[in-house]
Every structure is written in structure tokens, then in C-alpha cells.
Structure 1
């Protein structure tokens, strides 16, 4: 009785508006568990609970996209998305701990403890007359709050390998565009006409190259061919979206391969200043590649990674060049460093909006570097107490490993941090810095003298 009541309360008699008929069963390849062999132990319990609750309320619900792709590749997905025919409002009513987000397309975040499952309603075509959609003259989609059928939803996804739906209740994989066959062949293929799809969203070009490098898949010829010609479309992409995509690229665990692939496809020079820095500066190439290598190793080992530290490393040699320039103009070293930091951050902000929480970390790490060369008096003790000391110290070791600084400096700080009080005192270098002259106070005239 209770279950039937819940279904009547949460189930709307109207499905989301669709511009085409319900999908034809003949277009779907249904792959049973005995064939796809997905390991259910790799599936998030929160994702299963989400699909289960939606199905019990009378809706269709599937784990979808990159999570299914990774499961088929025997990888543990980092994130799980769910697609359903329920509207965002209906999803929100079913899950007490949920919220509706998004402007371009509304989604629901469903929270289970510290895990969040993203739930989207099946999407329809942005070309439909009905619905909330907006497109630029160049074809780029600005907003597409258009609901549709599952078949339309599959057609709206970018690559065949991402248009896969897994039903935990039946353990079937629904494949609309032969994505499983492409995965087995080691191919990443765009759904539909690649030129049209890239014009709709130029970030798809970055995603194609990144996923190809990350998954070890070869781009299909028709998917790869238009990229170089359409690269200029990235100029119209909002800086915040470019930053998010760069963050995914550098934290993919395959940053070096991805950066090289972007250069190969002409998706760096003049379009993404950060990639110009990574790929086209011989002075700091070893430093940058060491930073990317260390980041890849930490990501693949499931260790925490600081984006602020990574971006500080990628831009450091740009800061060094600007720092030297401002010193040559007659500025003192520390003010010149801060002027250099401002200039480099402003240049990056023109194309890519680095989040403030990361830019603050970058500046703190950079500003600590001159202090590591001060190894006399009380200065080393105060630096050890700085909240950003550890990040600055790791950055220093990277500079030493790349050959920018003598290894002796990094080793001195390692030994100093591990030494006791007397040992530290013995390690201090002679203080050769010029002492500041104390200003003499002018003596006030005595009251008696004033009276005379």
C-alpha cells in the first residue's frame, strides 16, 4: 500500500516533452551481464540507490556516460551520473538531500554522505521549437533546457563510448550508437556530424583529445579531421569553462600525453596561454615536465593533488621572466616579484578564469621562494612556522631537481626541518645582510626649557 501511494504521489502523468516518437527498440543493442561482464563491486552504492529509488517511483533510470564506459574498460569510475525520464522537480521531491542546479541545463545533485550523484533528465534536441534553448550565430549552444526521449538523449551525447546506459536492476547495458564496439576496437568516435557538434560546443575538441590520451583510444578519422580547422572557435568559449577543462586535463593522470596531443592537433598556440607556457618554453621545460610527471604519479596512486600548486609550477618560469624584467626597470626584488605575479595572472585571466582559491595559493607559493635563500638569523625559524611552508618547500625541491637551484639548498632545508634546536642553531649561515639603521629619536625639549 505504501509503495503504491509513493508511486502515485511522485509519478507525474505527463512525461517530459519529446519532439520525436519514443525510441525504436530495433535501434538499441541490449548487452546482458554475461557478455559485458561489468564488475558490480566497482559501482557506487549511492548510484544504485539513486536508480533504485527512481525506478520504484515509476520512472526509468540508468547509470550513464563515462561511468559505464570506464566499467566496460574494467576501471573504477571516479564519478557516477544517472539519467532518467523524471523532471528535475520530480527527482528533487524523491530525494530529501538533493538540490537543483544549472542554467544551461538543469540537473539535480543527490547527496549520500560525502558522495554526490548527478541526475539529469533525458535531453531533447536544442533545435526543437518547444523548450528553452538558445544558440549563437556560429552554432554554439548557450542554453538547452529541452527534455526528450532516451533515444534523443543518447544522440545528444558527444561520443559513442559515452552514449551507454546501464540498468543496475537488470544488469543490461543499452547501446544506441555501437559504443561498445568502438571501445572494443579502441576508437573514440563523435556521434553525428563532427563539424556541427564542434560548432555546438568547441570544448568537445579539447575533450576528444583529452579522452583519447587518457583512455588510450585512437580518434576516428572523421572525428579528428576538422579539429585543426575549427580550433579558433575556442576563442568564444567562456574562460571559466576553459579553466574547468584544463583542470580535468592536468589532473587526468595523463597530463603529459594530453598536452602533447593538444599541440599535435593545434589546440594550444594563441588559444590557451597556459598550454603555450607548458609546451613552448625551453627555459622551463624540464621544470614543467617534472611538475606534470609528479602530478600524474600522485593522481594514478590516488594521492591528493593541489591544483594551486600545479598551476604555480606551470606558470613559474613566466613569473621568473617578468620578475627579471621589472628588476631591470629599477624595482627592488620583492616589489618586482609581486608586479611579475600580477602580470602573469592578468595574462592568464584573459583566456582562462583561474579560481581565486587557486590563484591565492599560487601567489603564496611564489612569494615564499626568495625566503628559502635566506638561511641566517631568525628568518628560517619564521619560515618553518608559515602555514604554506610545506607547499613552498615542495616547490623548492622541484626547482632543485630541475637544475634551477643547487641541490644543496633543498638538502639544507630538509636537514634543518628535521634537526633539533642545537643542530638548527649550528646550521645557520653567517648573516651578511646589511643591517637596517635605527632611526634616532629626536629628544623633546624639557618643560623647563620650553618655559624659558
Structure 2
């Protein structure tokens, strides 16, 4: 594909022990040589771009929106890059607020939509800017520069593409246009240095490759396994947000497989990784993948997915392994379940900041599983009214992917939900073996004790 070239130069990234000096060559891809149309861009983003232009500033649609539009996607977020400072942007838009410490940004608010406007960032600090490094990692960066500087500071070439509103062209400084066409994800600069600068980029590589169905460039992929332990030093709150992006964006299965392939799963979920490795039958992994596939379907249909349910799924192998260990030590079943849930949650907090508003419902989903084997009338009616019943039942259905022994329980509770409380209560009272007392109830209680071990061994 032909394109014009101009404005050659070089830019330097002052990160890591050495200096990254990528070649910069602007390639302009005219409107008739790319598929991006204004009708596919948020009208609010266009308003921001036109206001910047009319006020004498440069403004470009940038990053993921440009990348996704080039591959036929439908971006939800539209970001703008400009040579206007955040304060200057705020002067142009009454509906603007300034946010951020590490990166000072302008958010232009249009109802439920926010257009993020970032000032071009510079690659070097002459002392007049606001940049802070901590052991080679960037903790604050508000040094402004040119569009060329901004391009080489971005992480992947596919994210360093700029859509110009004045002529509807795409500006490419790092070869990203060709990489997008080749469906390749490539880091700008030296991959090892870029990962050391921000280890979370390893997760972004996996997530974007899964989302876009891109291949990770070999040079970009090679350092991930040896550098994976660096993720352990990332802020737990930031890792929580990254996990939500990995698994709640509609590509959970591919993201999970990418984490496994690059040894990142054992850093993010060490006890889950250990449990999957020791589960020779593969039942736990089958269940986990089944659950993630269901998550992808819900996202595709714009249905909500609770982070509590997601983490219940991701940490279930760890819970099962902890439960088996406690039972082997002779701990009573109910006590073992509570202790296993607390142990797994506490250990996971060392890596990922899982808020209590999600960890507590997660534990309830686990602890309700053994109650599905109980058919006494009062217990059945009580469980049906439990606020976590539906989530726990959906989780029970997932467990069929690991073990067919749950089929009877799934059938019973599926039917129970279709009956009125009066009809259900009558049927439970009149059915042998499921009343409040008697020989049938005793048999059911004894069988539940035997099933506890089966739960933990899936």
C-alpha cells in the first residue's frame, strides 16, 4: 500500500539501564487507503477534535480506537492526544475535569461518555517538567513534548497510530500500520527494558493479543517468561483492575490460555496454578474453561458478570486443594470449608487486592455448594431464598464440567426453582427421604458427609 513519507527524526526513551533510540519515520496513510470513517467515531470525540483544531491546537484520535477501527472493530472508548496542556484543554471545555498524578489528564464529560484528552508526552526531562522514577519504574510523568516523542513512548506499535481530523489520514511513526495489517503485537523499543519499566505491560500484551486475535511478535514475547516474577512487585490494586480487563472483556478463555502459556498465571494466581498442575484428571481446568467460556458469552450478549463470581471461578481450584489438605489433617468438614475459604482469600490478597465486597460473596458461593445435597423441606426453602442462591446454583451447574456426579442435584434444584413454595413444600413433605426427620433424612445427611471429599477433589 502506497503512502507518503516525511519528517524523519530520532527520539530517545530514557528508561532502564540503557537508552532506547528507535528510528522515527512518519508515514501518512491517506483516507482512501484505510477503512476509518467518521461515522464510526463517537460524535463527542469528533466535537473535541474539532474544538481543538478550531482553537489552534493539534488534536488526534489515538491508540486503541484507531487500532480497533483499522481491524473492523467497534471501540467503546475514544482517546485524544494533543499539544494543548491539560489546563488549556480545561479552558476550552466547561465539561472538563483534570485527573491523575502519574499522568495528568483531561476528561471531557458528555453525559455517560468521557473523552480522555492527553497532552503529548516528552521522552527526556530537562528539569523543567514533572517526572519521577523509582528503581527504574516511572511513577510520575508529566513532561510534555511533540507528537514524535509521544509516539515512541507508547507501548505497542499498534497503539501508536494517530487519526488526523484535518485530512482524515492516519499518522504512523513506528510501523504500527503494517503491524496491524499483519495482526502482530510488537513493543516499541527494547522489550526487556519496556517490561522492566512497567511489568503490567506483560499482561497488556496477553490481553490485547487475545482481544484482537493478534500474534505476539517473537522479540516481544521472549522476555515475558523470565520477567514474569516482576509482576509480583506491581500494586495489588492495579493487578485487580488488570484482571477484570483480562477476563471481563469478552476474551476470557484466550486470556487465560495466554497467561498459562507465558507463566503469568502462577504469578497472578499461584495457588490456582499449583492446584491445576496437581489435578491429573484435568477436571478443574475443564470447569474453569467452561466458566470462562460462559463469561465470554454473557459479555457478548451485554449481560453482567459479577467479579465475585469470576474470582470464585478463578480461585476454586485453590479452594478445592486447600479443602482437601485440611480434611486430610482431620479437620471437621464445615470447619475445613470455612478455613479453606479464608486461607485462599488471605493468600490471594498478597498478590491481588480483592475488595471485601467481592471476596465475601465469593466465599458464600463456595460454602453454599455443600448445601445443594440437602433436601429437607425447611433447608430447601431457606436456600432458595438465600441472596447468593442463583450465583451458587450457576456455579453448581459449572461443576458438571468437572464431575457428572452433580447431575442429580442440578436437576432437583432446577425443577425446584420452577415450583411455587407451596407446591414445593408439599412435594418435599410427601416424598420419602426428603422430610424433616426420619430414616430418609439420616441417609441424606450421611451421604452428604461422603460427598464433601468429592467436592474438594474435582
What is the TM-score when the length of structure 2 is the normalising length?
A: 0.82
Q: Distance in 1 between matches of 2:340 and 2:154?
A: 43
Which residue number corresponds to residue 430 of structure 1?
A: 435
**Contact (CA 8 Å) 1:274, 1:314: kept in 2 or not?**
no
Asked if residue 69 in structure 1 is aligned to residue 67 in structure 2, the reply is: yes
Equivalent position SS for 2:115: strand
Deviation at 1:405, TM superposition (A): 4.3
Change (3 A) 1:149 1:342: same
- The ranges of structure 1 where at least 4 consecutive aligned residues each deviate by more than 6 angstroms after the TM superposition are none
Map 1:285-324; keep pairs closer than 5 Å.
285-324=285-324
Render the CA deviation track for 1:167-201: whole Å, top value 9, x for unaligned: 34532211111211111122211111212211111
1:402-437 deviations in Å (ceiling 9; x for gaps)? 326421211111111111344312432222468xxx
Match of 2:350 in 1: 350
Q: Cα 1:324–1:276, aligned 2, differ >3 Å: closer, same or farther?
A: closer
SS of the residue corresponding to residue 280 of structure 1 reads helix
Deviation at 1:270? 4.5
- Indicate the RMSD between aligned Cα atoms, in angstroms: 2.6
Instruction: After TM superposition, give the deviation of residue 36 of structure 1 in Å.
Output: 0.6
Q: Which whole-Å deviations, capped at 9, do the CAs of 1:207-262 have from their partners, x for residues lacking one? A: 22322232222222322222233223223221222222222222232322232233
- SS in structure 2 of the partner of residue 28 of structure 1: strand
Change (3 A) 1:302 1:59: same
Tell me the alpha carbon deviations over residues 122-181 of structure 1, each in whole angstroms, 9 at most, x when there is no partner. Answer: 1112555332222233x2222212221111111110111100111345322111112111
Tell which deviates more after alignment, 401-410 or 115-124. Answer: 401-410
| Rounded Cα–Cα distance in structure 2 between residues aligned with 1:396 and 1:374 | 14
Task: Tell me the equivalent position of 1:160.
Answer: 157
Matches for 1:97-176 after TM superposition, within 5 Å: 97-125=95-123, 128-137=126-135, 139-176=136-173
| 1:256 paired residue number | 253
Q: Pick from 192, 206, 215: which aligns with 2:189? A: 192
Whole-angstrom CA distance in 1 between matches of 2:90 and 2:415: 56
Pairwise CA distance, 1:343: 0.6
Matches of 1:82 and 1:420, distance apart in 2: 55
State the alpha-carbon separation in 2 of the partners of residues 275 and 149 from structure 1: 45
Residue 209 (structure 2) pairs with residue 212 (structure 1): yes
Which string of whole-angstrom CA distances, capped at 9 and with x for unpartnered residues, describes residues 253-312 of structure 1? 232223223332333334642762685352511211111111122223333222221111
CA contact (8 A) 2:286 2:401 kept: no
Q: Check the 8 A contact 1:104/1:143 in 2, yes or no.
A: yes
SS in structure 1 opposite 2:50? helix
Shift of 1:328: 5.1
1:344 Cα deviation from its structure 2 partner: 0.5
Taking the aligned partners of 1:358 and 1:352, their CA distance within structure 2 comes to 12
Separation (CA, whole Å) in 1 of partners of 2:384 and 2:97: 43
Q: Partner residue of 2:239?
A: 242
Tell whether the 8 Å contact from 1:108 to 1:118 is kept in structure 2 after alignment: yes
Q: 1:367 to 1:91 in 2, by over 3 A?
A: farther
Residues 354 and 178 from structure 1, CA distance in 2 versus in 1: closer, same or farther, beyond 3 angstroms? same
Cα displacement (A) at 1:350: 0.7
Distance 1:229 1:321, change over 3 A: closer
Q: Provide the residue aligned with 1:268 in structure 2.
A: 265
C-alpha contact 1:60 1:85 (8 A) present in aligned 2? yes
Match of 2:7 in 1: none
Q: Shift of the alpha carbon at 1:334?
A: 3.5
Q: Radius of gyration: which is bigger? A: 1
- Cα offset, 1:362, TM superposition: 1.1
Does the Cα contact within 8 Å between 1:163 and 1:175 map onto a contact in 2?
yes
Structure 1, residues 332-372: CA drift from partner, whole Å, max 9, x if none? 44443222211101111111112333223312322332332
143-152 vs 242-251, greater mean Cα deviation: 242-251
Per the alignment, residue 7 of structure 1 pairs with none
The answer for the alignment partner of 1:44 in structure 2 is 42
Distance 1:55 1:278 in 2: 56
Contact 1:232 1:271 (8 Å CA) reproduced: no
Which stretch has the larger CA shift, 66-75 or 187-196? 187-196
- Give the total of aligned pairs: 411
Consecutive unaligned residues of structure 2, counting only runs of 5 or more, are: 1-10, 14-23, 429-433, 443-458
Distance between the aligned counterparts of 1:131 and 1:333, measured in 2? 60
Distance verdict in 2 for CA 1:39–1:307, change over 3 Å: farther
2-structure distance, mates of 1:409, 1:287: 17
Higher mean alpha-carbon deviation, 145-154 vs 155-164, is at 145-154
